[in-house]
Structures are given as C-alpha cells and as structure tokens.
Structure 1
Amino acid sequence: MKFSNSHKAPLYNSIIIVPMLILLMGSGAFLLGVNTYGLLGTSLFMGMIIVPVVLLLIVSLRGRQIFEYDSEGETLNLSNKGSLFRGKFINDEFPKYKLQHYEIVDLLVLRRLYITISSKRNRPIILKYEISYLTPTQLRELCSCLDEVIKNNQENRQEP
C-alpha cells in the first residue's frame, strides 16, 4: 500500500506564510502606529502580533507536514519532510521482517509515529516520524498496514 499527503504542500505553505505576513504587517503597523501616529490604541496592534506568533508556534510544534508511506514489495519506505522552512528530510527504507512494533503518540497538538525495528546488534532501533497532518482515514490505513506486517512477521517467526 502506498500513500502520501504531498499534494497538500501548497496548503501547508500558505498556512505558514499567512501568519508570517500578518506578523510582519502587525509589527510594522505597531511601530508606525504607536510610535509615530498614536492611532487606534495598542491592543489592535498587539493582537496582530500575538495571534500570528501563537499560530506559528502551533505549526512549528506540529512538525513536518509531508509524510509518505510505501509498503509494496519486501521493504517499507517511510519519509517525512517539511514543506517550507522545515529543512530536515527523513527517509528510511528497511525490510519488512525487521519491523517489531510501532506506537502512535497522540497529544493535543501533535501526533508522532514511533517504529521499532531490529538491528544486527540485537538492539532495537526506534525511528520517529511526525504524522500530525495525516487525515483520520490515512491514519487508519497506516495502522492496518503496519498491523498486517507485524502479524506476518510473527507468523513467519513461529514457523520453524
């Protein structure tokens, strides 16, 4: 199974750009309006600064926007990348038989996927992905596919 939410990258970019523009305009209006002209009072200008800062904090806490998953063949391919200013790109590819277990942590603002895979040194490796921007349907598909891979791995380990 294969899915991606990369087609929504322009939407994610605009979610970041609009508060940044409002913040710039609010900062400029605050500096010009309060210091030079004394117009409208400070509460309106402070609202134009505080609201975009809060929105930008929420967007940055939610993490990377683009998540791609591919389980066709004998390998699992997972990639996680940010759309605009989130520069770090995570791309992992590993055989399905190495998948041991996964966990989805769902907090108020963010959702993360932790995948545990086996290594050659008999120590588990934990891979982390930010999946806050997945739809509930995509999340269910991801869980069912990972459950199926884990079930197949357990059946193959039991057969001598």
Structure 2
Amino acid sequence: MKAITIIQPWATLIAIGEKKYETRSWSTNHRGQLAIHAGKQIDLVACEREPIKSTLAKHGYTANNLPAVAVVALCNLEECYKVDNRPEYGTIGLQANNGKFRVWGGKRDNEYYFGDYTDGRFAWELTSIEILDPPIPAKGMQGLWNWDGDHNAGQGS
C-alpha cells in the first residue's frame, strides 16, 4: 500500500477526520488506498495556533500526546487538484486533470486553515478515513512510499 509521511499535527488532523485535503507542492497520479504516517517531527507552534489547538483538544490531543513515527490512519486518495485561486471573486478553485473542479467561496472553514492553498500547489482529496487505534509504528520516508502493513516500512518509490 502507498503511504505518505506527514508531520504533526496534520497527520492526526487527517486521522480524526477533521482534515480532508492534504496540500502539497507536488501532484500525484496515485489514486486509491493510502496510509497516513505521522513522522517524528511535531510542529509545536502550529499545535498552539487556532483552530488547530481547539480541534485537537476536542478529540483529546495536545502537542504532548500526538503519535509519532507511526501509521495513524488509512484512507482513499480520491483526487488530486491544482489550487487555482480567484482573488477577484474571493474564492479558491481546485482543478483536477480530468476536468473536475471545486470552488470554495466566502467564509473559510477549518479545512482552509489546516492546509496551504497557495496558488499552484496541490490539494489531495482524502476520503474513507479510518483512524488506527493504536497507531502502527513504522519508519517513514519522503514522497510516496510502500508500506507493507505491519511494523516495518516498505521500500521507497
């Protein structure tokens, strides 16, 4: 199964179902199952920033109890969108290669604050998110990598 390593608190925000898009500087053609791996790095400043702090607290998490170096969730990578901002309309557009287009306008919800929606970046749409409790320890890697589903990391790809 493909996996991606994400620093905390964003990996846990995905695992608890509060973050549905993972924003990246790069696109992927992968669609299907994806393991969410929490890396060893925890952004302590982000953990104290709203709405991240209150969202984590709602689920019993703080910067001190976030899982690290473990697969925390399984999901489906449904689509990969290119961020196409339309500031003249106050909207953010998400454009997929297959022509699918999504627009956010008006008030920004938490999802907006949980990612980097700078023009030209990519938003990976994650669906069917399943938290792993307990998380499964695994060594991560950069980029998409193969996870064999147990306590060991797979080979990079």
Which TM-score bucket, shorter chain as reference?
under 0.3
TM-score normalised by the chain length of structure 1? 0.22
The structure richer in helix per residue is: 1
TM-score normalised by the chain length of structure 2? 0.23
Which structure carries more relative contact order (alpha carbon 8 Å, separation 6+)?
A: 2
User: Max radius of gyration: which structure?
Assistant: 1
